Amino acid sequence: MSRADLTAQRMADLRQAMRTHSIDRRAFIQVAGAAAVAAGLNRDVAAAAPLTRRPGLVRAQASANTFVYGSGQDISNLDPHTGHDYSITWGQRAVYDSLLRYQGNPPELRPLLATEVTGNPDATEWTIRLDERATFHDGAKVDAEAVRYNFGRMLRKNLGVAWMFSTIMDEESAQVVDPQTLRVTLLEPFAPFDAILPWLFVANPALVQANEVDGDEGEAWLQSHEAGGGPFTIAAWEIGSVYEFARFPDYWWTGEGEAAPLDGFVWRIIRESSTKRIAMETGEITYGDTFTPEDIEALRADPRFVANDAPSLSPFAIKLNNQAGPTADLNVRKALAHAFDYEAAIEAVSGRGTVMEGPLATALEPWHKTDLPVLRFDMDAARAALAASDFADGFELEYVYVTGLTAEENFGLIWLERLAELGITLTMAPLVWPDMVARASSAETAPNAMAVYSGTDYVDPDNFLWQAYHSSQAGFWAAASHYQNPELDKLLEDARASTDEARRKELYDAAQLKLVEDAVEIWVYTEIENDAWVAELGEPYDTIMGGDVRNIRFQG
């Protein structure tokens, strides 16, 4: 089958791309909040809910000053310390404040609950000073003791965002200095500590404790209720249909001289791309995600709408098991990388992506190393590498990908054709995401090859390289390659401990080179997300990308 035939036959119905729970996961099935702990929530591609208006709900017109987001994924859990995916994050940021926030593109750290965060020279001790104006929705002060409680609850739960904090903090790390000041003493140096603080959403301890059942610290109640102090409160919670948030009239934060915030925020469940496009055209929604390429182009042609063209930082890679099976052989991994047609993969997503040049997105400046000796599509080089391996006569290779995710299936079909030329039989193995996570938990059960989209929680190479390649992370889904290398570990440990940016750049350059030389996995592309919005929002993608509704304003 030719590349053109493959594109025409298999790729026209490209569905939503999936993110991992490390920044904002989009996938294909809805799972319970407990599953979000292990793998992030997945996207449900069931039939769309009917587009019906409800009194007081779903006001999409710009004049209503209500932002309506059309998505296929439910907000399944609002608990600030257990839930973590892209839809959950939108809900959490509507009702909770964090210590710092991200704004802009590229994103920059800005104050929120914290007016100042400073670290000592070795990045082991950090001082956090709080805004004296900050209050929860019931009027209680957001003080240092409340923030200390939230650090502790997050670490005790050890779910959701805890992976960013649990290796560098324990429950004694955060201590109250005075009512507006905390001192955080880390277990080991961590230079980007301030970069992860936007993920500590602060809940009202009194309200959490008042709703505790059987020692759960309010966990069951917080899945669909809020104990925050953010810009919105919950107005409607209809699982599988709509989640509405109303502006909190006495919100303490003033947006640095900005115009008045939104009156309302609605998360509308619409599963199918074509239904979502019609909802955009008829004024039911102001923003939609994961359109098909065809629907994106239809919206782009309409002057009422803007289609996203901004590249993301989120990589898609095929994780190769470095510890077991034929992919434990370096020359086999090189052969597999050379046999993957990267340009065909970009065609398979209708050109909406950028071929990766190593383990970091090319847009991640200044951290991406530009002169890496990456392996490119070259069948002669693939044959030579395979001949130098212990599997020169070919073998069977299992490729695991998410059931129903057409992009990942198509990548496998592209690869299958080329691998057959090498005598390698590719077995296509679709699984639901939780089963993939379980398979990745040990080198013995991890697939030979596993498709993974990774997201961004904080804009630092540590976000991507530590969770995927440090030996301590083996068994985590992002580290499905089970790569073990003490030399690489030392580079990453030194880089996250250093406060000298030039030194960190040297260390991360060396780490990227080592990973490429070891052909750890196949780095395919970073996507351009298939999102669109009404023109009255201007060019909001820098703020929408962060899921922070306080940054969104209608224009005109």
Q: Is the C-alpha dihedral spanning 404, 407, 412, 417 positive or negative?
A: positive
Residue 26 DSSP one-character state: -
Last residue of a domain, one of 154, 179, 205: 205
Rounded mean pLDDT of the chain? 85
Q: Is residue 27 part of a domain?
A: no
Pair (177, 325) in one structural domain: no
The phi, psi pair for 174, rounded to 5°, reads: -95, 120
Identify whether 223 is part of a domain: no
Residue 164 Ramachandran class (φ > 0 left, ψ -120 to 50 alpha, else beta):
alpha
Of the given ranges (9-13, 84-88, 389-393, 545-549), which has the lowest mean pLDDT?
9-13
Q: What is the pLDDT of residues 324-338, one digit of tens each?
A: 999 999 999 999 999
Among 179, 205, 231, give the residue marking a domain's end. Answer: 205
CATH number (domain holding residue 119): 3.90.76.10
Final residue belonging to a domain, choices 149, 183, 205: 205
Q: Which CATH number belongs to the domain containing residue 430 in this structure?
A: 3.10.105.10
Percentage of the chain beyond pLDDT 70 is 85
Q: Does 199 lie in the same domain as 317?
A: no
Q: Which residue has the higher pLDDT, 232 or 292?
A: 232
Band (pLDDT 50/70/90 cuts) for residue 314 is confident
pTM of this prediction?
Answer: 0.75
* Number of domains into which the chain is organized: 2
Q: Is 238 contained in some domain?
A: no
- Supply the range of the domain harboring residue 322: 311-528
Identify whether residues 315 and 201 lie together within a single domain: no
Q: Tell me whether residue 39 is in a domain.
A: no
Residues 461 and 342 in one domain: yes
* Mean pLDDT within 205-212: 96
Q: Is 374 exposed, middle or buried (0-12, 13-18, 19+ CB in 10 A)?
A: middle
Question: Residue 287 falls within a domain, yes or no?
Answer: no
Question: Does the pLDDT of residue 170 top 60, yes or no?
Answer: yes
Is 253 part of a structural domain of the chain? no
Q: Tell me how far apart the alpha carbons of residues 108 and 177 are, in angstroms, rounded to a whole number.
A: 27
Taking only the tens place, the pLDDT of each residue in 353-375 is: 999 999 999 989 899 999 999 99
Band (pLDDT 50/70/90 cuts) for residue 453 is confident
Q: Is the same domain home to 197 and 322?
A: no
Neighbour-count burial for 6-32, b at 16+ CB within 10 Å, e otherwise: bbeebbeebbbbbbbbbbbbbbbbbbe
Residue pointed to by tokens 């540590």: 462
Report how far residue 295's alpha carbon sits from residue 278's, in angstroms, rounded to the nearest whole number.
10
Answer yes or no: do 349 and 498 share one domain. Answer: yes
DSSP letter assigned to residue 503: H
Please check whether residue 321 lies inside any domain of the structure.
yes
Q: Residue 237 domain-assigned?
A: no
pLDDT on residue 540: 58
Q: Express as a percent the part of the chain with pLDDT over 90.
A: 64
Judge whether 478 and 452 are in contact, CB under 8 Å.
yes
**Rounded Cα distance, 458 and 195, in Å:** 6
At 415 the three-state DSSP class reads helix
What pLDDT is recorded for position 259?
54
322 and 191 co-located in one domain: no
187 and 318 both lie in a single domain: no
